[in-house]
Amino acid sequence: MKHQYILGVSAGFHDAATALIRGDGEIIFAGHSERYSKNKNDAMICPELLAEFCEYPIDTIAYYERPWLKQLRNFVSGQGIDWSNITVQQVLENQLGSWLQHPPRKIQTYSHHLCHAAAGFQTSPYDRATCVVIDAIGEFDTVSIWGAEYDGSGCATYKKLWRQTYPRSIGLFYSAVTQRIGLHPLDEEYITMGMAAYGEPRYVEECRALLEDNLHIGIDPDWLRLATNEDIAASAQVVTEELIYSVMRRAQDMNWSTNLVYQGGVALNCLANRKLGEYFENIWIMPCPGDAGNSLGAAALAHGRRLRWTDAYLGHEISGEYPVRTLVDHLQSDRIVGVASGRAEFGPRALGNRSLLADPRGSDIKDLVNEIKRRQRFRPFAPVVLAEHVHELFDMPRGWHHSPYMQSVASCRRPDLYPAICHVDNTSRVQTVEADGSGIRSLLEAWYERTGCPMLLNTSLNIRGEPMVNDRADADRFTKEYGLIVLS
């Protein structure tokens, strides 16, 4: 049987990505352009990314937003119109060059927030779900709530139940705060979130007022100039959580489903995510909920049916067996080791295939890892733990019995034993690993057998200032730069 192949594309703003799916719902590939070009948050699709799937006869290209609507919004918001990116044909020619036309391919476009909803729903295990999308901005939408279900013939259907439009935007507010405290917006929001625990929410009222005026944080009121970055971050986190939970309450009250599918860049706020279980019984956040994930969402919409989701290992492949035994040996002797094996993770988190791993026990390990990562002192590292042991070590929040993609914080029960993976408020961004046959699962089992510790410290493997390691050549550069072995 000849399969259809659909390529989803998300590009032109930040973090360009592609996703390739086959007509039977198999996700063949999903990956970020930055991992190939080495430009962090690369907005352009690079040729090396396209080369990953050159052997597939792609019939359809699905694009993740409506370019002319986006240009209209730019016009309305006073940013002017980019006449070279008005039609989807222009946008794709700019992004894909001659690759687009040889052979000619069918092109479809979908609205930005619908792509987010589909990226979540069609990878979720649910037949019916309430989809909540919260991001900085789509074409005009900044928050949307959808009722999603499969009809009698298995086609995904979406009913838009509510929307909020630009300029009111939770994501833009959080990005503006991130910029205000000297970090990179649309990239380093996770650092703002980590900083929040070190401050006091002294400026909640002031932050609310900024939002009410739709002024975000572009102006410079006195309080903002006098406040510490930590207090600004703490205050913004409180206000952001208020806004997220008011959307969740609204979505819950619609009584569409007790299953929540949550997407958009704001869904990466794992601190806010800890309370989602108060509104919904089941929670699914596809591990790449931001705009890069919309490449998969657009492809899903063109496909129209449920996708076969197994895990987030969808990117470039470094072939060979996951080197379990040598990793355990290195962890025992050196306490820290790199691994680059199997397929790269789709999404911003290293989940064991492009990871720096360390023994999480003891007080000095954080400094040892930080010698390589050179991160801000306030940022903890994440734990990866055998799922069956997670409740011995962490109080998992309601709705987060397991957390395979590191999407919620949980309180650590033994911060005295594992200070390196605990934040100042004793929370950790937990990754649980089921008996799923993955390399990281086999490693944790072997590590547990050898040491009695069911957990490792896990942080992304990247050269400072660069995206995550993608291929073996990147891994070798990492070793050269830091003198630390990276096993494949």
Residue 282 host element (H or E): strand 282-284
What is the secondary structure of 413-442 as a DSSP string? S-TTT-GGG--TTSEEE-EEE-SS--HHHH
CB-nearer residue toward Fe ion: 135 or 471? 135
Distances from the Cα of 324 to the Cα of 78, 260, 445, angstroms? 55, 36, 9
CB-nearer residue toward Fe ion: 231 or 291? 291
CB-nearer residue toward Fe ion: 291 or 474? 291
Q: Is 139 in the site for Fe ion (CB under 5 A)?
A: no
CB of 112 to Fe ion, least distance (A): 6
Q: Compute the Cα dihedral for 443, 447, 452, 453 and give only its sign.
A: negative
Binding mask 35-54 for Fe ion (x = CB under 5 A): --------------------
CB of 64 to Fe ion, least distance (A): 8
CB-nearer residue toward Fe ion: 289 or 397? 289
CB of 129 to Fe ion, least distance (A): 19
Nearest to 139 by CA among 117, 114, 120: 114
Quick check: helix, strand or coil at residue 454? Answer: coil
CB of 452 to Fe ion, least distance (A): 44
CB of 106 to Fe ion, least distance (A): 24
Nearest to 438 by CA among 269, 340, 287, 311: 311
CB-nearer residue toward Fe ion: 42 or 291? 291
CB-nearer residue toward Fe ion: 297 or 380? 297
CB-nearer residue toward Fe ion: 144 or 355? 144
Distance of alpha carbon 468 from its chain centroid, rounded?
A: 13
Distances from the Cα of 210 to the Cα of 78, 288, 351, angstroms? 20, 30, 37
Pick the piece of the chain touching Fe ion (CB under 5 A) from 79-87, 133-141, 312-320, 353-361.
133-141
Pick the piece of the chain touching Fe ion (CB under 5 A) from 58-66, 225-233, 288-296, 398-406.
288-296
Distances from the Cα of 252 to the Cα of 173, 259, 293, 426, angstroms? 24, 10, 24, 30
Total number of residues that touch Fe ion (CB under 5 A)? 2
Compute the distance between CA of residue 100 and CA of residue 17 in angstroms, rounded to an integer: 15
Quick check: helix, strand or coil at residue 73? Answer: helix
Binding mask 246-285 for Fe ion (x = CB under 5 A): ----------------------------------------
Compute the distance between CA of residue 280 and CA of residue 442 in angstroms, rounded to an integer: 32
Q: Is 135 in the site for Fe ion (CB under 5 A)?
A: yes
> How would you classify the pairing of strands 128-134 and 259-263?
parallel
CB-nearer residue toward Fe ion: 135 or 189? 135
Structure tokens at 457: 């410290």
Q: Is 189 in the site for Fe ion (CB under 5 A)?
A: no
Q: Is 65 in the site for Fe ion (CB under 5 A)?
A: no
Q: Which residue is nearest to Fe ion (CB)?
A: 135
Who's near 73: CB < 8 A, 6+ residues apart?
137, 139, 140, 166
Pick the piece of the chain touching Fe ion (CB under 5 A) from 132-140, 188-196, 231-239, 367-375.
132-140
Q: Is 291 in the site for Fe ion (CB under 5 A)?
A: yes
Q: Which of residues 428-467 bind Fe ion (CB under 5 A)?
A: none
CB of 52 to Fe ion, least distance (A): 23
Residues that bind Fe ion (CB under 5 A): 135, 291
